[in-house]
Each structure stands twice: as structure tokens, then as C-alpha cells.
Amino acid sequence: MNQHVTNAARLATVKPLSIAILAMGGQGGGVLADWIVALAEAQGFVAQSTSVPGVAQRTGATIYYVEMLPAKDGIAPILSLMPTPGDVDVVLAAELMEAGRSVLRGLVTPDRTLLIASTHRAFAVSEKEAPGDGAGNPVVVVDATDIAARKTIAFDMEALAQRNGSVISSVLFGALAASGALPFDRSAFEATIRGGGKGADASLKAFAAAYDRARDKPRDVVALPAKRLDPLPVRAGHPLLDALIDRIRTGFPDAAHAMLFAGVKRLVDFQDVAYADEYLDRMMDLLACDRAGGGEAHGFAFTTHAAKYLAVAMAYDDVIRVADLKVRATRFARVRAEVGAKDDQIVATTEYMHPRMEEVCGTLPKGLGEWIEARPKLFAALDRLVNKGRRVRTNTIFWFVALYAVSALRARRRGTLRHHREGLHREAWLDRAVALLATNYDLAVEVLDCRRLVKGYSDTHARGQSKFDRVLSALPQLAGRADGAAWLKRLRQAALMDEGGVALDGALKTIATL
């Protein structure tokens, strides 16, 4: 029997406008959500916002979710607390990879979603901790969003915000206004910003710039960042530096000039002009070996690669270098710019340091460092004193002076135990590469490229050097093979895949079966 119920309540057929905002700490995602809610309510809509915070800074962005619906007959609608995949009208992503994650979560759909995203990158922890280049491919993300979204507005909104003295939330708000996704006039958006009070002028300036940019050029072409080397200049403006430039110009093939100039700049910054001159002396020896091994027919690839990785090896990361970088005026200026500090604001910088006795001995004169290391009980006792994590406030006089004093040890670096050991390891590496030039030129070049495995200091340096030694342990099996260079390259790539070296273990087992 069918029962008919008259005057029964039924589900509403009007759907709310839904907006998802993906933003990291400091990008003003909460302010943007509040602006959108205030804008909707000022125009007679009922609006609601919720947020789900990420785990931590750049390990997970906060998702702010806004729904709005015109008020009807004085009855307040029931709005959702979370975005539903396939049911979001607008996604605002404050960084490119967050736009990609919104696609993976199903928040962006081709029949419904407008995607507004900044194309700049703020690298995630997983990208930074990779032994090799762990950065995500921005081209892949852009290609995916082109397919997944109904329409995309994407350009470098972070840079536009900085040029206008504001934060990215103002730019996202301007792009949203220009998109026409919300049924409100530009003046309503601007009135909402003015209602926020403090900082309204800078926010309005960034809003206007974003509004015009989204209308005139809504899309940027995104590509992998190209590596660029400064060309060898005619002069540097200082007699000692000019002499280095002249040595490069007159003593080396044109193909290596730009890389040698980059190496000289790095080593002058690391130590001094004399150290850069030592670098060129060693490069002259390597160039002579390259010529003897038929380097001209190979475009002097051996010399060019040696110019890069010898400079990297000579500018190793030690305690002196770390201290030097942390007390530089340019670093304090960069930190202030990154946090948007005003001239009258004080920025407190806290560094986390965890020195080991190995680093202390490496900074000592060679004889003293070896003497301590030869006495295990003394070494262990001293290690218990220094081997602990410390939070160092470099904006305080005590810690700044302490680090500055450590950085001043640069003048004595050549006599340290670490410098001695770096030199021995470096020369052994170069000798192995040179020995292969006459019989397997490409393999010799690959041996040079393996130096990229060694980086950092403390535990990071130890792990990298261990991988480097393990990769080169396969040379006896590869030296006589025509495809030896390709196999060594595979080993190097495997070593860069994971921190623990699991992929490298598998690759070495494969090499053993050749």
C-alpha cells in the first residue's frame, strides 16, 4: 500500500558555493578564509568556514573550507564542515605542490572546479632531505591541473605579494575577484579588505595588482629551473682577482671558463685568493692529463667536470664554514625579508646545533686532533660533554660572538685535521679518475661526477662519503667494460635515491653479477 505524505519537508535542491583553501603557516590562509566569509555575509549570504591544520610547517598545509549560500525565508541552511571530493567550486592553493595535492585529493574536477594557484615553490621536508635532487617536477603538476580543473589561474603570486609589500593571501583574494567565480563586485572585495583595518593599504595594493594580472595574463609558463653560470668577466675590479681571471682566460679552453670562474668565486668566498690559486694550479695539472687522454676530441669534458667537482671538494662543509654562514649580515637580511619584518621590528633567530667530538677534533690542529683521537677514553669523555643538541640564539651577543670567533678560525683552516683528511681523500679520488683517462674517458668523467655524493658535515658527511666509497668500489669490475660509465652512473643515481642506501645495495649486487 502506498502512503502519500502531504506538506512533508524535502531536501533543498540549491547547492552552496564551496571554496577550499590550501595554505601553509605564514601565508595568511586564515585571513583569506575570514575575508571570504565576511564578503559573503556582507552581501546577504550565509557563510561558514572550518579548517583542518597540517602536521607542521611545510609537512602538511592547513585546509580551510568555506561554504556560502544566499539566505532564504529566514531559515539558516546546514553547511558542510569538510570539502567533498568532486564537489568543490573553487580551490585556492598558495603553493604549486599544494595545487597538485588538491588534485590528488579529488578536490579539483574538470566539470566544476576553478583552480587558482601560485606557481612558486616552498620545498617540503621530503624534498629537502633527499640525498639527491628531491624537488618535485613542476611541469608534471601543471600538466595534471590542466586536465583536472575546469579552468586554471596560475602565476607566481608570492613574488607579486612581495613586490607590493603584502602576503600571498591578498593576491589570492585579488585573483579570486578577477575570476568571476563569486557573484560579487570588485568594490565588495575591496570593502572587505578595508574592514580588516591594520595593513589594509598594502593588502589593497597587492589585491589590485593580482586582479589586473589575473585578467591580463592568468597563466604563467612553468618549466624546470635552468642552471645558469655567469660568463667569465673581463675584470673583477681587484688586482688579485683579475690575475685569477687572466689565468682562466689564457690557460684553459673556452668550454671550461664559466665553470672555472664559478669555482674561483666559491673558493675565494670559502677561504681566500691564494686557495683559489691552488685550485687553478691543480686544474692545470688535470687539463694536461685531459689533453694527453684525448680530451680535445671530447670537448674537454673531463676538465669541465673537474672544474665543478674539485671546487665542491675543496669548499667542504666544516664547523668553521657553518659558523661563518650563520653570522653573515646577508643571512640576517635574508631571514628578515623572508619573515616580512619591518625596520622597527626585532627578529630572534634560533639555530639548532648538535656537534660531535669528531667535528671538534677536525677543527683542531692536525697533531692535537690526532692525539685526542688516539686516546679512546679521553675522546669518549670529551664527546659526552659536546655531543648534545643546543638551541643557539644567534641574535644574542654571547652566541653571535661565539660563532664569529669560530668563523675566524678560517685563517688557520689549512692546519686543521679536517683539512688534512679532506686533501688526502680528494687526491685519491682525482688519481682514480686520471688513471682511467687513457683507457675509458667516459668512465673517468663519471668518477668525477660521483663527488656529488659527498656533502654536508657531521653525520650527513659521513653517510655521503660512505656511499661515495661504496660506489667507487665497483671500479675494478667496470674499468674494462665499454658500458662502464653507464653502470657507474646507475650506481650514483641509486645512491641518491634514499638515505639508507637500500637502492645502492641492490645496484651493487647487480654489478657483482656482470
SS3 for 181-221 is: CCCCCHHHHHHHHHCCCCCHHHHHHHHHHHHHHHHHCCECC
pLDDT of residue 132: 63
Q: Of 163, 270, 269, 263, nearest to 212 (Cα)? A: 163
Annotate 30-57 with three-state secondary structure: HHHHHHHHHHHHHCCEEEEEEEECCCCC
* Across 74-86, average pLDDT: 81
Question: CA torsion sign, 464 to 469 to 474 to 476?
Answer: positive
At 295, list the grid cell. Answer: 680530451
Mean pLDDT over each residue of the chain, to the nearest integer:
87
Q: What is the pLDDT of residue 10?
A: 46
- In the predicted model, is pLDDT for residue 456 greater than 50? yes
Structure confidence at residue 403 (pLDDT): 92
> For residues 499 and 129, is the Cβ–Cβ distance under 8 A?
yes
The rounded distance, in Å, linking the Cα atoms of 383 and 388 is 9
Which residues, in sequence order, are CB contacts of 374 under 8 Å at separation 6+? none
* DSSP type of residue 230: P
pLDDT for the residue numbered 6: 41
How far is the C-alpha of 202 from the C-alpha of 196, rounded, in Å? 12
| 511 pLDDT more than 80 | yes
DSSP-derived secondary structure letter, 287:
H
C-alpha cell at 199: 595593513
Burial 296-333 (b: 16+ CB within 10 A, else e): eebebbbbbbbbbbbbebbbbbbbbbbbbebbeeeebe
pLDDT at residue 99 in the model: 87
Q: Is the pLDDT of residue 92 over 60?
A: yes
406: DSSP letter:
H
- Beta carbons of 37 and 49 less than 8 angstroms apart: yes
pLDDT of residue 100: 87
Confidence category of residue 383, pLDDT binned at 50, 70, 90: very high
Distance CA 448, CA 452 (A): 8
Angle between helices 301-314 and 257-270 (to 10 degrees): 10
Pairing of strands 350-353, 114-118: unpaired
Q: Which residue has the higher pLDDT, 441 or 80?
A: 441
Does 96 score more than 90 pLDDT? no
Beta-bridged to residue 92, according to DSSP, are 21, 116
**Residue 278, CA distances (Å) to 53, 178, 247, 446, 483 in order:** 53, 58, 12, 24, 34
State how far the Cα of 471 lies from the Cα of 409, in Å rounded to an integer.
34
Q: Which H or E run includes 154?
A: strand 151-155
Please report where in the chains the cell 544566499 appears, as a residue. 70
- Cell of residue 92, nine digits: 585556492
Cell numbers linked to 237: 675590479
Can you tell me the distance from the alpha carbon of 103 to that of 99, in angstroms, rounded to the nearest whole number? 7
Q: Which amino acid is at 12?
A: A
Alpha carbons 209 and 171: distance in angstroms, whole number: 8
CB 39 within 8 A of CB 188: yes
Per-residue pLDDT of 265-286, as tens digits, reads 999 999 999 999 999 999 999 9
Q: May I ask the CATH architecture of the domain 17-216? A: 3-Layer(aba) Sandwich (3.40)
The ranges assigned to domains in the chain are 17-216, 228-315, 319-418, 427-514
Whole-number pLDDT of residue 8: 44
Residues facing 50 on adjacent strands: 65
List CB contacts of 405: < 8 A, sequence separation 6 or more. none
Q: What is the DSSP letter of 416?
A: B
Query: What percent of the chain has a predicted confidence (pLDDT) above 90?
Result: 56
Q: Residue 27 pLDDT more than 80?
A: no
